[in-house]
Structure 1
Amino acid sequence: MKVTKYSGEQIEFQKDKLIRSLKKSGANDFMVSEIFQLIEPQLYDGIPSKKIYKLAFQYLKNYSNAHAARYNLKSAIAALGPAGFYFEKFIAKIHEYLGFKTEINLRFQGKCVSHEVDIVLLKENVVTMIECKFHAGVEAKSDVKVPMYILSRFNDLKDRTYEMFGDMRYIDSCLIVTNNKFTEDALAFAKCSHLKMLSWDFPHQNGLRDIIDQLKIYPITCLTTLTIAEKEKLLAENIIITKDLLSDKSKLEKLELSKARMKRVLTEVNQL
């Protein structure tokens, strides 16, 4: 049986892939088995992958909002767009939880031209610049032109000092982050050029998805108990991750939710 991807390309349906994605949501074997039994009769040749995703999401939500939220993670990160500014803040938040100091949206004068830098990190006296490549489409990939371009920027910046973290410092290394995937050529070029790369599934077992699940740092956009408009209001209030709601419930109160809805939202947050 064929499945039609977002791009229109048709591939063989992979039951194991669906099972793995359901398990990554935190669903146990019994739940996964039941959900697959509900989905299987609705499959047909050429079914859009988006439809399978929606079915799985809805059935997971019937069990647990938190499971559905984790299953929805990739789309939730894509919802941090369209420009990607909130994605940059999300990546900075992740690195703060990893023990880095962060500064975002900086402008530095390189040897040749001026550059905007998305994020700089400081840990153990090492400064790393992060360039974020955000894609609103869930299947878009960053090709080799991305690391080639960013390498040229890094080379223009690395031999000068800049005021960061209360001192004059060099930029020691460069990390490129995308919410989707890199092409094989992009990864090969980055390895050859000593650029660090972080994508949805790279490095293996330590990609963006793995780090998010390990740290339990989920974007506010993954919550199933809030509307899109409510999530946008929270983002505008600089509430980027779900944990922010636990440390500052006043922002949630500004949404003027009923007590019952407030309880459902906080329950989902606590279960993530």
Structure 2
Amino acid sequence: MVTVVKATGEKEPFSEIKVRNSIRRAGIPQEIQEQVLVHIKTKIYEDIHTSEIYKHIIEFLKTSPHPFNKTRYTLKQAIMDLGPTGYPFENYVSEILKSEGYQTQVRQILEGECVSHEIDVIAQKNDKKILIEAKFHNSPGTRSDIHVSLYTKARFDDLKDKYNFTQGWIVTNTKVTTDGVKYALCNGMKIIGWNYPETGSLRDLVEKANLYPITALQSLSQSQKQSLLDQGIVLCKTICQNQNLLSQFDISDHKKNNLKDELNFVCNIS
């Protein structure tokens, strides 16, 4: 049995089921799923890093008859590419919650009973008013530890009575440590991580509403993506709904056609 090394440095047996599930969740057609698995089996070796397996899958998808499948599969990395600052991720979390029916505000300075606080995202729906710590990490294997749960709870306590907050949340694009989760849940907080909880994780919410970040697009350059992020534009869906946003860029007709095809593909994922 071949052993693989995870981003955290932990080792585990290679799992064909895990590879298959990751490809399937990305919406890759069945026939291509099988081709990917055959390809990966020819590449693995003892103590191969999961990041290398990921790269082999991406390289294969680039050569498939449907190259935009790569856009689907790179969702986790695309969210990490929203960095290096946490501001685009805060905007991204805000957009995700809007899709769930919340009204949102980002980066609000609130004066608490003791000190002032900058709150990443505030979300309101019906009688709920949520204080959210949007914890962004731009490298796999990085986790939010118990300190994030501790200071989020402290902020909530300092602000809840004055601003009528009903709950504190931590939303992260990676994971929260076991102690961090235990402390948060013990204190009535909610955690949303990449694959946590089992239902309603960050990945679930993104896929449910097709909220792919612009960093997933292969047809835009890094500088073009950064320009859009600087303007507060984080969703492919925003560009799909207003393609005039692309007129600010000098894009050749050929690349423009590729970009339109890719946007249509991403925005119409069922």
Contact 1:154–1:174 under 8 Å retained in 2? yes
Q: Which residue of 2 aligns with 1:243?
A: 237
| Residue 238 of structure 1: how far off its partner (Å) | 2.1
Q: What is the aligned counterpart of 1:70 among 69, 72, 81?
A: 72
Q: Which residue of 2 aligns with 1:144?
A: 146
User: Equivalents in 1 of 2:125, 2:248: separation in Å?
Assistant: 36
Q: Which residue of 1 aligns with 2:24?
A: 23
Question: How does the TM-score come out when normalised to structure 1?
Answer: 0.92
Letter in 2 for 1:12: P
Contact 1:6–1:139 under 8 Å retained in 2? yes
**Counterpart check, 1:40 vs 2:41:** yes
**Residues 4/203 of structure 1: CA separation in 2 closer, same or farther (3 Å cut):** closer
Report the more deviating stretch, 107-116 or 34-43: 34-43
| Residue 38 of structure 1: how far off its partner (Å) | 1.7
Q: Which residue of 2 aligns with 1:103?
A: 105
Contact 2:8–2:142 under 8 Å retained in 1? no
Letter in 2 for 1:148: L
Local SS of the residue matching 2:218: coil
**Residues 116/203 of structure 1: CA separation in 2 closer, same or farther (3 Å cut):** same
> In the TM superposition, what whole-angstrom CA distance separates every residue of 1:55-108 from its partner, at most 9, and x where no partner exists?
101212333343211211111111111121100000001111111111111001
Q: Which residue of 1 aligns with 2:7?
A: 6
Contact 1:139–1:180 under 8 Å retained in 2? yes
Q: Which residue of 2 aligns with 1:166?
A: none
Following superposition of structure 1 onto structure 2, how do residues 199-214 of structure 1 map, counting pairs within 5 Å? 199-214=193-208
User: Equivalents in 2 of 1:47, 1:227: separation in Å?
Assistant: 30
Q: Which residue of 1 aligns with 2:252?
A: 258
**Counterpart check, 1:61 vs 2:67:** no
| Residue 11 of structure 1: how far off its partner (Å) | 2.7
**Counterpart check, 1:224 vs 2:218:** yes
Following superposition of structure 1 onto structure 2, how do residues 81-120 of structure 1 map, counting pairs within 5 Å? 81-120=83-122
User: Equivalents in 2 of 1:9, 1:125: separation in Å?
Assistant: 43
User: Equivalents in 1 of 2:224, 2:60: separation in Å?
Assistant: 23
Report the more deviating stretch, 1-10 or 255-264: 1-10
Report the more deviating stretch, 219-228 or 59-68: 59-68
| Residue 126 of structure 1: how far off its partner (Å) | 2.4
Q: Which residue of 1 aligns with 2:157?
A: 155
Contact 2:211–2:235 under 8 Å retained in 1? yes
Q: Which residue of 2 aligns with 1:190?
A: 184
Letter in 2 for 1:265: L
User: Equivalents in 2 of 1:72, 1:119: separation in Å?
Assistant: 25
Q: Which residue of 2 aligns with 1:165?
A: none
Letter in 2 for 1:184: T
> In the TM superposition, what whole-angstrom CA distance separates every residue of 1:11-53 from its partner, at most 9, and x where no partner exists?
3211111111111111122111111112211211122222110
Letter in 2 for 1:55: H
| Residue 244 of structure 1: how far off its partner (Å) | 1.0
Contact 1:234–1:252 under 8 Å retained in 2? no
Letter in 1 for 2:88: Y
User: Equivalents in 2 of 1:216, 1:62: separation in Å?
Assistant: 24
Q: Which residue of 2 aligns with 1:124?
A: 126
Contact 1:65–1:225 under 8 Å retained in 2? no
Q: Once superposed, what is the RMSD of the aligned Cα atoms?
A: 1.4
User: Equivalents in 2 of 1:103, 1:182: separation in Å?
Assistant: 24
